[in-house]
Chains A and B, each alone.
Chain A
Amino acid sequence: MINIDERKILKNLFSYILLIVLAVVILVPFFIGIWTSFLPTADILKGNYFSTNISLTNYLDAFTKTPILRYLGNTVVVSTLIMLAHLLFCSMSAYAFVFLDFKYKKFFFALFMVTMMLPGEAAIIPNFQTVKALGLLDHYSAMVVPALTSAFGTFMLRQAFLQTPKELKEAADIEGLNHFQIFWKVILPYNRISLITLGAYSFLGAWNSYLWPILVTFSNESRVIQNGLKQLQSEETFNNWGMIQASAAIIVIPTILVLFIGQHYFKSGLNEGAVK
């Protein structure tokens, strides 16, 4: 008996060692990035990671000497607009595909599906010309307008709307509600979890987009954070590693905090979906 216990403890010990080693490997880039963001650049460039000159100077510099707050503000505005637009337009088109009968419905749905197979990266030349012709270059709208709807979002919400219980639709019919009322008062509230999921997905997608914004923005007034870091890194601040690391930390810390807090809800959301 003792023998088995010992073997079990040894096995667990081995598991823990492996778990810890892998955690360290994954977290090393964070540790180094965040630690060096507190050190003076002179020490970093000498490779003196164990310097004791810890300060918040890099953060102050990042906030006062670079437009990072402007970049963050731009990104929040653009991502929020895209998220709201997706929630509205995707749920509307999904509603049409589930609850309305119209000519060529199957054909139009097939079009949506085909759209999901086409990479946006391959459409940059004509889209750039379109946005330029519309006079939207270097404005928020250059990033928002082409991203107002999403075929994937429509598809995802359609799958959710299909699960709406018949009784709910019938009750709405008896009440004599028109389609706008059914859409707004019945279908959207009933599918709020799917809407939250799509909202999070769309916001993150917009937050992380890199190629399109770099093509259509040229000034700090409209530049988003993903391109902004490249700008900082290539401009006057080229070798100011301390400040660049601080900028990266300023961006990543809020997202990770949100993730940790959100993970609890995310998990319970998944469970809820499973019970359904």
Chain B
Amino acid sequence: MLKTSTTNVVPEKKVEAKNKTKFRLTANDKYYASIFAGPSLFLLGLFTFYPMFRTLYISMFLTNTFGNTTLFVGLENYVKLVTSPDFVSSMWVTLVYVVGVTFFTIAMGLLLANLASQKLPGIAIFRTLYSVTMGVSVSVAAIFWLFIFNPSAGFFTLLTKLLHLPTVNWLSNPTMAMWAIIITTVWMHLGFVFLVFLGAIESVPTTLYEAADVEGVSKHYQFFHITLPMISPTLFFISTITIIGSFKSFGLIDLITKGGPTNATNMLVYRIYNDAFFGGNYAKSSAEAIILTIIIAFFTYLQFKFLEKKVNY
């Protein structure tokens, strides 16, 4: 960095600059680093690391109703969880939800992005319309869909009546309640996923498609053998963030089904929340939180690894 000194700089100044630079790169950096990185480190320590260790700690104790630890029990809370049919069914429900949401979000996102990547007059309007759910927050999505699923006046009830089909009571039927939550989640995420896929599809070199056209390859075949492999990094990225997001899902469940009917949509985070703040069982809730952490950490790690690999190429 000191090579920048030029001949028209007077010697005194040069020395001064040299000293300053050297000074800054050694002793002073420590002082600056504590000012620059200190606040963030302190905050992350207090609100991310401390609670993680605290949760791990609580999960190995019995607790009273105030959340104070009373008796060390080791892994007993975990053993209790994995042997309790209630928790196992909750994990299954979460898994069904995660798989359902991820599958339908990606399938619908790809379908929309592929359609909207065609070069047709007026296609810009459709692109805007398809991305519209990006502006929808959890509570708005829940309200709109709660009304659609409403058993007496909802849109689906009206539709089934109109077609003389048997009416379905969406939110009191365990299977349909799960579908209701999946549909709402997919709808809410679709706008964002569509835009990301559209960007990826548009960046595929057109020469590939032109070559395929010359060969007389069908569009269907082109999609599966050109588009999909070319956008596979984006596909992986969207899959992992959708999986992570679905494992952490809470708001829609709280607003639409409250975990019901009969625990049919009682997923992991909803259980953590209920066991701690309504059940008063902090130890159980903490053990569940640690299980959630392990799952999320695993998928985030996968994503980091993949991104690293991509950068290296």
Interface residues of B in 117-162 (CB under 8 A from A): 118, 120, 123, 126, 128-148, 150, 152-153, 155, 157-158, 161
**A164 on the B face (CB < 8 A):** no
Other-chain residue from A100, A116, A176, A211 in contact with B32 (beta carbon distance below 8 A): A100
**B84 on the A face (CB < 8 A):** no
Interface residues of B in 274-313 (CB under 8 A from A): 276-277, 282, 285-286, 289-290, 292-293, 296-297, 300-301, 304
Could you say which residues of chain B place their CB within 8 Å of the CB of A29? 141, 144-145, 148, 187
**Given A116-B300, A149-B43: A208 in contact with B36 (beta carbons within 8 A):** no
Minimum distance in angstroms from B289 CB to a CB of chain A: 4
Minimum distance in angstroms from A36 CB to a CB of chain B: 7
Contact bitstring A35-58, B, C-beta under 8 A = 1, else 0: 010000000111101000000000
Count, chain B residues at interface, CB 8 A = 94
Interface residues of A in 134-182 (CB under 8 A from B): 146, 148-149, 151, 154, 170, 173-174, 176, 178-179
Interface residues of A in 85-141 (CB under 8 A from B): 89-90, 92-93, 95-97, 100-103, 105, 108, 111-113, 115-130
CB <8 Å contact, B152 and A45? yes
User: How far apart are the CA atoms of A4 and B250 in the complex, in Å?
Assistant: 53
**Given A125-B286, A211-B273, A270-B199: A256 in contact with B132 (beta carbons within 8 A):** yes
CB <8 Å contact, B133 and A32? no
User: How far apart are the CA atoms of A263 and B191 in the complex, in Å?
Assistant: 12
Could you say which residues of chain A place their CB within 8 Å of the CB of B58? 125-126
**B24 on the A face (CB < 8 A):** yes
Q: Which of B112, B135, B147, B152 counts the most chain A CB atoms within 10 A?
A: B135
CB <8 Å contact, A33 and B144? yes
**A186 on the B face (CB < 8 A):** no
**B101 on the A face (CB < 8 A):** no
Of the candidate stretches A59-67, A191-199, A247-255, the one touching chain B is A247-255
Other-chain residue from A49, A119, A148 in contact with B296 (beta carbon distance below 8 A): A119
Minimum distance in angstroms from A37 CB to a CB of chain B: 10
User: How far apart are the CA atoms of A117 and B48 in the complex, in Å?
Assistant: 10
**A2 on the B face (CB < 8 A):** no
Could you say which residues of chain A place their CB within 8 Å of the CB of B150? 241
User: How far apart are the CA atoms of A229 and B142 in the complex, in Å?
Assistant: 9
Could you say which residues of chain B place their CB within 8 Å of the CB of A275? none
CB <8 Å contact, A123 and B250? no
Minimum distance in angstroms from A38 CB to a CB of chain B: 14
CB <8 Å contact, A230 and B255? yes
Could you say which residues of chain A place their CB within 8 Å of the CB of B30? 102-103
Could you say which residues of chain A place their CB within 8 Å of the CB of B139? 210, 225-230, 248, 251
**Given A30-B132, A118-B297, A173-B21: A16 in contact with B120 (beta carbons within 8 A):** yes
User: How far apart are the CA atoms of A26 and B105 in the complex, in Å?
Assistant: 13
**Given A32-B155, A122-B293, A241-B147: A252 in contact with B40 (beta carbons within 8 A):** no
Give the interface SS of chain A, mostly helix, strand, loop or mixed: helix
**A259 on the B face (CB < 8 A):** yes
CB <8 Å contact, B132 and A27? yes
CB <8 Å contact, B1 and A18? no
Could you say which residues of chain B place their CB within 8 Å of the CB of A263? 128, 131
Minimum distance in angstroms from A202 CB to a CB of chain B: 14
**A217 on the B face (CB < 8 A):** no
Determine the residue in chain B with the shortest Cβ distance to A148: B43
Binding site for A on B (CB under 8 A): 1, 4, 16-17, 20-21, 24-25, 29-30, 32-37, 39-41, 43-44, 46-52, 54-55, 58, 67, 111-112, 115-116, 118, 120, 123, 126, 128-148, 150, 152-153, 155, 157-158, 161, 187, 190, 199, 247-248, 250-251, 254-255, 269, 272-273, 276-277, 282, 285-286, 289-290, 292-293, 296-297, 300-301, 304
**Given A22-B115, A101-B25, A124-B272, 8 more contacts at CB 8 Å?**
A28-B148, A118-B48, A121-B250, A121-B289, A126-B51, A127-B47, A146-B43, A211-B273
Can you list 16 residue pairs at the A/B interface with Cβ under 8 Å? A19-B116, A29-B141, A30-B132, A32-B155, A100-B29, A108-B41, A122-B289, A126-B54, A127-B47, A130-B50, A146-B47, A173-B1, A176-B16, A179-B32, A226-B251, A228-B139
